[in-house]
Amino acid sequence: MNEILQILSENARATPAEIAALLGRTEEDVAREIKELEDSGVIRKYITIIDWEKASEGYVYAVIELKVALQRSTGYDSVAERIARFSEVQSVRLISGDHDLSVTVRGKSMRDVAFFVAEKIAPLEGVQSTCTHFILKSYKEHGVILTDKPKPKRLVITA
Amino acid sequence: MTILREVPAWNAEAHLSRTVRDLPPSGIRRFFDLVNEMDEAISLGVGEPDFVTPWHVREACIYSLESGYTSYTSNKGMPELREAIADFTKEQLGLDYDPGDQILVTTGVSEAVDLAFRATLNPGDEVIVPEPCYVAYVPDIILAGGVPRQVSTRIDDGFRVTPESILPAITEKTKALVLSYPNNPTGAIMTRSDLEDIADLVVEHDLLVISDEVYGMLTYSGTHASFAQLDGMGERTIILNGLSKSHAMTGWRIGYALGDPRIIGAMTKIHQYTMLCAPIMSQMAAIEALLHGEEEMLKMKHEYNLRRRLFVSGLNRIGMPCIEPQGAFYAFPSIIDTGLSSEAFAERLLREQKVAVVPGNVFGQSGEGFLRCSYATSREELIEALDRIETFLGRL
């Protein structure tokens, strides 16, 4: 795995100088490679993982499972891309199994989310059925455990 | 009815073994007390991983407890664990050890070190101990009735053992040579050809080699080599290893010894009368770690390697000359230019900048003029520690 991507995937704020020190490379060299990764679209965006519950700005999240009628020429893409454009929608994924698309929606309240699904998603051409699962508590997001207790301390000096 | 008797003042000292009473106190102890008093100190003094044991290993242990594995095991260790150790050793070193009579599971590598000396030394037998090194070899040799012969390794040799360094220490009574590479505290490794250089001397004087390879999996540049891999040297080498460092399992106390069946048999004899067996729950965890722990092990090694580059280049940048440590998780910078002793430097650095390091002389006389800094701590702390050390140097 590309070592720069690995470092940035854990800490988007790592500077080229810091990454260079970790990898034993020059800062210029690392900066150039990051630029290339950004330009080619491998790196899409630098985001922050926030525990919204802790920030007491509670959002409501729901996973919506959709059954979709296949379009003749575009398959799932056209309906998936339409859904993806709504700013309420956090992720859209084509999945295997009982349903076709898995969509994560964020809203201010359950009512908000429910109305969004009923008014914007369900009526879309090609959407056959929706099933809304509200997220009650999040334990791990983007590889980060949100409920972790502090790590026990080691002895300060050992041989 | 109470019987009154004349009781002279109790003198516990008089009841102690002379050998134990006369053992030199651990230099690390005093420093530990000092650091413990300081709140908020950044500690680069810890000789263990900062990672918690990978969850799949902890989970396997919990499951074994739920299933009722709480009994003694075979003295030598559970057969499944010895099999797993044999396979792991074959994979890592290309060496074959028979799980039946060439592998002993111990309660940490520390026990294996103790057993190796006790099983092989007669009173007065001498053991060559290259320093700087881990603090337990010398006392363990003394406790086993042997005589430690410390020899210095030098920074100019990359802290490796050379024929020239050990030859003067060899006498008719020399029984064994201790090798501990990758080395705590210097981070030095010995390559296969470095080991070849001393093999003739070992054969000529018919020495046993006690090879502590607990940091073997943590070798970053070059390949870890064991003396046992050299042609014809397997039978005279006792390999001591364990999962503490490689799998972040210090608290589980699982180590092992590999070697000639008669030597392993002798070590097992002591083990069965003293320890009986390593704890079964730890053995169950160790099986999981050896069978399925490679990915997590490599992940931790990768993180150490990132920190190693960050920290060692940082030390050199701020004026703490440091050779590239190729293994373990220690940097061993020189402070000779400051004119301070290792202890004075470490104590002042702690008091003035709240950074704890271990004075090099704790690991033997030849460690004087150096500091052991563990980079088994978070990147943020390493960067902060470098800043503080730089400030400290600027004010000297």
Closest CA to B42 of B344, B335, B373, B337: B373
Select the residue from B30, B32, B53, B304 to test the A interface by mutation, using most A Cβ atoms within 10 A: B32
Degrees, nearest 5: CA angle A150-A155-A159 = 140
Name the one residue in this structure whose structure tokens are 């169950």: B284
Chain B nearest-CA distance from A109, in A, is: 36
pLDDT of residue A151: 84
- Pairwise CB contact (< 8 Å): B36 & A156: yes
- Pairwise CB contact (< 8 Å): B35 & A21: no
How are strands ordered across the β-sheet holding B330-331? B330-331, B371-374, B358-359
Q: Which residues constitute the domain of residue B248?
A: 55-293
pLDDT of residue A135: 93
Strand partners, B177: B128, B209
Q: What is the pTM of this model?
A: 0.91
Confidence grade of residue A58 (pLDDT, cut at 50, 70, 90): confident
Q: In Å, how far from its chain's centre is CA B214?
A: 6
- Pairwise CB contact (< 8 Å): B52 & A158: no
Distance CA B144, CA B115 (A): 9
Residue B68 lies in a domain: yes
Give average pLDDT by consecutive 10-residue segment, chain B, 396 residues: 86 94 84 84 94 97 97 98 98 98 98 98 98 97 98 96 96 98 98 97 97 98 95 98 97 98 98 97 98 97 96 95 96 96 96 96 96 96 97 95
User: Per residue in A19-43, is it b (16+ CB within 10 Å) or e — as a string?
Assistant: bbbbbebeeeebeebbeebeeeeeb
Distance CA B131, CA B160 (A): 10
Residue B179 lies in a domain: yes
CB neighbours of residue A17 within 10 Å = 12
Distance CA A100, CA A82 (A): 15
Residue A145 lies in a domain: no
Q: Are residues B186 and B84 in the same domain?
A: yes
Distance CA B77, CA B74 (A): 5
- Pairwise CB contact (< 8 Å): A159 & B136: yes
Distance CA A83, CA A86 (A): 6
- Pairwise CB contact (< 8 Å): A21 & B310: yes
- Pairwise CB contact (< 8 Å): A157 & B358: yes
Residue A71 lies in a domain: yes
pLDDT of residue A53: 77
Which one is predicted more confidently, B238 or A75? B238
List of residues 6+ apart from A64 with CB closer than 8 A:
A102, A103, A104, A105, A117, A121, A130, A131, A132, A133
Distance CA B275, CA B19 (A): 22
Nearest CA in chain A to B315: A21
Residue A44 lies in a domain: no
- Pairwise CB contact (< 8 Å): B45 & A158: yes
**Any chain B CB within 8 A of the CB of A17?**
no
Closest CA to B211 of B257, B157, B164, B278: B257
Chain B nearest-CA distance from A22, in A, is: 5
Strand partners, A103: A64, A92
Q: Are residues B243 and B325 in the same domain?
A: no
Residue A159 lies in a domain: no
Distance CA A152, CA A155 (A): 10
Tokens coding A126: 């090609």
Q: Which positions in chain B touch A18 (Cβ < 8 Å)?
A: 310
Distance CA B183, CA B197 (A): 18
Q: Which positions in chain A touch B314 (Cβ < 8 Å)?
A: 21
Residue A74, pLDDT above cutoff 80? no
Q: Are residues A77 and A21 in the same domain?
A: no
Handedness of CA B233, B239, B245, B246 (dihedral sign): positive
Residue A49 lies in a domain: no
Q: Are residues A64 and A128 in the same domain?
A: yes
Q: Are residues B240 and B331 in the same domain?
A: no
Residue B4 lies in a domain: no
Chain A to chain B, count of Cβ pairs less than 8 Å apart? Answer: 52
Residue A48 lies in a domain: no
pLDDT of residue B344: 96
CB B172 within 8 A of CB B180: no
Tokens coding B285: 């965890």
pLDDT of residue B12: 93
Degrees, nearest 5: CA angle B29-B32-B37 = 135
Which one is predicted more confidently, B187 or A50? B187
Q: Are residues B121 and B84 in the same domain?
A: yes
**Any chain B CB within 8 A of the CB of A136?**
no
Q: Are residues B255 and B359 in the same domain?
A: no
Distance CA A152, CA A144 (A): 18
Q: Are residues B352 and B286 in the same domain?
A: no
Phi, psi values for residue B334, rounded to 5°: -90, 140
Residue B136 lies in a domain: yes
- Pairwise CB contact (< 8 Å): B358 & A23: no
* Long-range contacts (CB closer than 8 Å, 24 or more residues apart) made by B49-53: B49/B245, B49/B248, B49/B250, B49/B300, B49/B329, B49/B376, B50/A154, B50/B376, B50/B377, B50/B378, B51/B248, B51/B300, B51/B303, B52/A151, B52/B248, B53/B247, B53/B248, B53/B249, B53/B251, B53/B252, B53/B285, B53/B289
Q: Are residues A66 and A30 in the same domain?
A: no
Total number of domains constituting chain A: 2
Distance CA B144, CA B19 (A): 10
CATH number for the domain including A76? 3.30.70.920
- Nearest by CB to residue A151, choosing from B36, B52, B306, is B52
Total number of domains constituting chain B: 2
Domain boundary among B239, B270, B293: B293
How far from B273 is each of A88, B17, B105, B115, B268, CA to CA, in Å? 69, 20, 14, 12, 9
- Nearest by CB to residue B28, choosing from A18, A154, A159, is A159
Residue B1 lies in a domain: no
pLDDT of residue B3: 80
- Nearest by CB to residue B50, choosing from A154, A156, A159, is A154
- Pairwise CB contact (< 8 Å): A154 & B46: yes
Q: Which positions in chain B touch A7 (Cβ < 8 Å)?
A: 306
pLDDT of residue B127: 98
Distance CA B207, CA B175 (A): 5
Q: Are residues B99 and B238 in the same domain?
A: yes
Q: Which residues constitute the domain of residue A28?
A: 3-39
Strand partners, B114: none
pLDDT in tens, B318-370: 999 999 999 999 999 999 999 999 999 999 999 999 999 999 999 999 999 99
- Pairwise CB contact (< 8 Å): A21 & B314: yes
The dihedral region occupied by A24, where left means phi > 0, alpha psi between -120 and 50, and beta the remainder, is left
Q: State the maximum Cα–Cα separation within chain B, in Å, rounded to a whole number.
A: 77
Chain A nearest-CA distance from B5, in A, is: 46
Q: In Å, how far from its chain's centre is CA B378?
A: 22
- Nearest by CB to residue A21, choosing from B31, B135, B309, is B309
CB neighbours of residue B222 within 10 Å = 14
Q: Are residues B244 and B318 in the same domain?
A: no
- Pairwise CB contact (< 8 Å): A157 & B306: no
Q: Are residues B287 and B312 in the same domain?
A: no
Residue B3 lies in a domain: no
CB B376 within 8 A of CB B49: yes
Name the one residue in this structure whose structure tokens are 């599971």: B105
